[in-house]
């Protein structure tokens, strides 16, 4: 991805029916969470250098390995 290139996220739509606005908002939040939109927005909030991103990814993998090893004992 080039610098300054915008990535288009697909739109999320929720129909407000007979159940009301509160129910539609709850459904929208659930849908956004399942599609990972909020996680993606948090990730893009600040630029992360590729080297930092790689170290973070490796640290997460190590944490998962330790957790899995602990669960197997």
pLDDT digit string, tens, across residues 47-62: 999 999 999 999 999 9
Residue 56 has what pLDDT?
93
Residue 5 has what pLDDT?
55
> CA-CA distances (angstroms) from residue 45 to 6, 39, 41?
13, 10, 6
pLDDT digit string, tens, across residues 9-64: 678 888 888 889 999 999 999 998 888 888 888 888 999 999 999 999 999 999 99
Per domain, the residue ranges of the chain are: 21-72
Residue 8 has what pLDDT?
67
Q: What is the pTM of this model?
A: 0.49
């Amino acid at each position: 991805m080039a610098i300054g290139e915008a990535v288009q996220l697909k739109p999320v739509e929720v129909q407000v029916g007979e159940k009301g606005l509160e129910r539609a908002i709850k459904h929208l939040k659930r849908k956004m969470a399942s599609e990972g939109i909020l996680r993606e927005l948090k990730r893009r909030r600040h630029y992360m250098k590729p080297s930092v991103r790689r170290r973070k990814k490796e640290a997460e993998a190590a944490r998962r390995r330790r957790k899995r090893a602990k669960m197997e004992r």
